[in-house]
Structure 1
Amino acid sequence: AEDGFRLFDLTGSSPIGKDRVSATFLADVDTQYLDRVSTAKDPDRTVIWTIYPGAGNTDGRPNKGIWYDYRLNRFSHFELELEGLIRNATTTALTIDAPASAGDPDNVDDESGESSFDNRPQEFGNSRMGAFNTTFVASDFTGDLLEGLVETGDIEGAPGNFFFLNGVRPLVDGRRVEIALAEMDNRDDDVVFGPYESPDEDGRVSFRSEARYHRIRMKLPPGWTQAVGLDIEGVAAGSR
């Protein structure tokens, strides 16, 4: 909708994106190419996909996306260049014929040449999300997970006072995660992150940062599977 993301449940609509993602999306989407915005329901999960041309797009090609999980009522986002979404993409299911031996050509086509029953889009059964990539090839979202990035909001560890942050413990599988920290004394300060740091042998990243507000970035390596959150260690400034 013109005012952002809404959820329709057959009885009415609710502004699910208000104060969450709508303002960010409307500020980022390239209004010259609104026709390239598309949305699809994931047939395998309780997720709605939206892709759009955002800042840095090439000739209106969608380069960013937003997920909405309506069961959890939560949003997430990603950056990936795509030409368009495919709701019923290639599947791993039944074909008309299956190779009975190494010598079976597995090549049953109709005589008119209009349809190939061995063509992957003709596999009937399961459905999953897919997309046309930048070379217009139909693709599905399989393979190892890409690098992930988790960023917190502004953390006010000691409301009304300065907070001394001395450590962050990422709750993520594996130890190749990296943590970067930004500190602000006022809400209108520029958010500038320091260099990425890796956890020590105890899984902790040490800092010595005193500020009113902190923001944390967590970079996840390709292939990660579980990212629960962060444990933040610190005390109000002046406390022991």
Structure 2
Amino acid sequence: MPDPIKLAPFAPDTASVDAAVSAVATNVVPRSDGYGPVLAPVPLSLALPAECRGAIAVFSPTYNFPIYVAGTSKGLFVYKTTDQAWHEVTNPSTSYSVPPGDYWSFAVYGTLLLVCSAGTPVQKATIDVLQAGTQPFADLGGSPPRARHMGVVGDFLVLAGLPDTPQTVRWSNSGNIEQWPLGQLDQTGDEQQLPDGGAVTGFAGGEYGVIFQERAIRRMTLSPDSGNVFDCSVLEENRGAVAPWCIAKVGPRIFFLDRDGFYALVIGGGPSTPIGAERVNRFFQGRVDPERVGMTVAFRDPTGERILFAYRLAGTDAADPSLLGEALLYDWLLDRWSFINTPIRFGMSAATPDTSIDSIEGSIDDPAQPSLDDPMYQGGATLLAVMTTDNRLAVLDGAPLEAVVQTPDAMLARPNRAFVRGVRLDTDADDWRVTMGVRESLGASTPMRWLSESAPTVERFAPARASGRYHRARVRIPAGTTWSYVSAIEPDATAEGSR
């Protein structure tokens, strides 16, 4: 019997000519030994009153539970667990507007949640007060400029993507984000016009600020002894960000999308590294809406070392402009990709919300109910959250989605043809299906011929009767099946005569 065929890394760009990679890994996450399941979204909330145009989960500075804030093109809303509804916290004295194709940008500064968009003055709200839903957002003091992006560097608030001066970044006074002076020697607030590299297309804060432009990446370093508050030095030329909200910072790593594909940048670690080249870049470019590449959104999956890149599909209904049809998932620890075909509107790193006692079904005196000091009521368990197509908050902790994975081409009786009687699957799933594909050569003139799908017998052996020189197995694990890993197939094959 031939050796087991491992489920190879997902690299559809080269899978047709490279037998070490696979063209299919759908609704799975990479593991060192194969793949694991992606869990279905479980809605927590009622729907927003309009399409979601950005969302964030922030932890209360006082209590250990997350607070969810989401925005539409005209308003901001906070989610309350007591009634599972979104409560409007829009500033009643300010008109909100998020331009088409844009999203809200969020930042946390101490106890404040800050929000901005190119069509709205910078907004502020105290996080703990915001959760109560009794006090709306207000304009940030000091008349800061409108901006598409924001971030915190040290104790400065930095605004970028300024509509009126697109090659400029501006920052507040140190420790006072409601003071925005310009060019005053006794003040630390100021601005920097960048001489080249094109318009600013994104920003990431932290110990250093990282400015993404159309054709350059710069680092903002606090430099008070130089006569300037910040030194904006070039990190990399002829490299930038094409999608403003496809910039995800995790520790020293920043993941982003440029014109030619996906990259990772480690601050202080040299130039950016291509992570999608000859693996998923051409796959992405063939599926994304070429007019809406800038709507691609990157967000972290906090349950693992993973980043998701959700994008708008080509041919998507123009009447639904904020729908992100599918996503690519990258595990930076394993340096492997997979594909998720679940449509969403936005995504975020999140946690389970606190559970209101009023929402408990049955009586709290029921012996089967958890005690009132159970951690479930406090929330805080790390999860990935999304805003669904119907604009509801959902966490990905439901039953597994339908998963489809595929082996590379294998020559099981080299150099002869082989007859495969069937296969076993290395997995802990009780329910799975296999479709065998056969062909006589790897040339484009001999496409794969797929046989009928078969289910395993009680001996966990799926019959096939597949004769060919090259074999490929496509595995499907139905939605709702409980499983944790799938790693390889074990073919039951014998050599056939040559012809």
Q: TM-score range by the shorter chain?
A: 0.7 to 0.9
Aligned to 1:33: 292
User: Within the alignment, does 1:234 sit opposite 2:478 as a pair?
Assistant: no
Aligned to 2:345: 83
Please report the TM-score for the alignment, with normalisation by the length of structure 2.
Answer: 0.40
Distance in 2 separating the partners of 1:44 and 1:175: 24
Post-superposition CA distance 1:21-76 (Å, at most 9, x none): 22211222121221321111223321111111235633352111111111122111
Unaligned runs of 5+ in 2: 1-257, 366-377
Aligned to 2:482: 224
User: Within the alignment, does 1:190 sit opposite 2:447 as a pair?
Assistant: yes
Q: Rate the CA distance shift 1:237–1:3 in 2: closer, same or farther, 3 A.
A: farther
Distance in 2 separating the partners of 1:36 and 1:177: 36
Distance in 2 separating the partners of 1:202 and 1:212: 27
Identify which of structures 1 and 2 has the higher relative contact order when contacts are C-alpha pairs closer than 8 Å and 6+ apart.
2
CA contact (8 A) 2:406 2:475 kept: yes
- Equivalent positions of 1:65-214 (< 5 A) are 65-87=327-349, 89-92=350-353, 102=364, 125-187=380-442, 188=444, 189-214=446-471
Distance in 2 separating the partners of 1:69 and 1:213: 30
CA contact (8 A) 1:183 1:209 kept: yes
Q: Which runs of 4+ in 1 moved over 3 A?
A: 55-60, 123-127, 158-161
Shift of 1:92: 4.2
Structure of larger gyration radius: 2
Shift of 1:141: 0.9
Give SS of 1:176's match: coil
Give SS of 2:441's match: coil
Aligned to 2:276: 17
Q: Rate the CA distance shift 1:178–1:125 in 2: closer, same or farther, 3 A.
A: closer
Distance in 1 separating the partners of 2:314 and 2:447: 20
Shift of 1:232: 1.8
Shift of 1:179: 0.8
CA contact (8 A) 1:184 1:212 kept: yes
Shift of 1:102: 4.5
Aligned pair count?
217
Say what the alpha-carbon RMSD is for the aligned residues. 2.7
Determine which structure has the larger strand proportion and give its number: 2
Distance in 2 separating the partners of 1:81 and 1:180: 26
Q: What is the identity, as a one-letter code, of the residue corresponding to 1:153?
A: P
Identity over aligned pairs, percent: 25
Moved more, 225-234 or 51-60: 51-60
Please report the TM-score for the alignment, with normalisation by the length of structure 1.
Answer: 0.79
CA contact (8 A) 1:47 1:67 kept: yes
Q: What is the identity, as a one-letter code, of the residue corresponding to 1:224?
A: T
Shift of 1:238: 2.6
CA contact (8 A) 1:175 1:199 kept: no
Give SS of 2:425's match: strand
Moved more, 51-60 or 164-173: 51-60
Give SS of 2:286's match: helix
Give SS of 2:292's match: helix
Give SS of 2:294's match: helix
Aligned to 1:52: 311
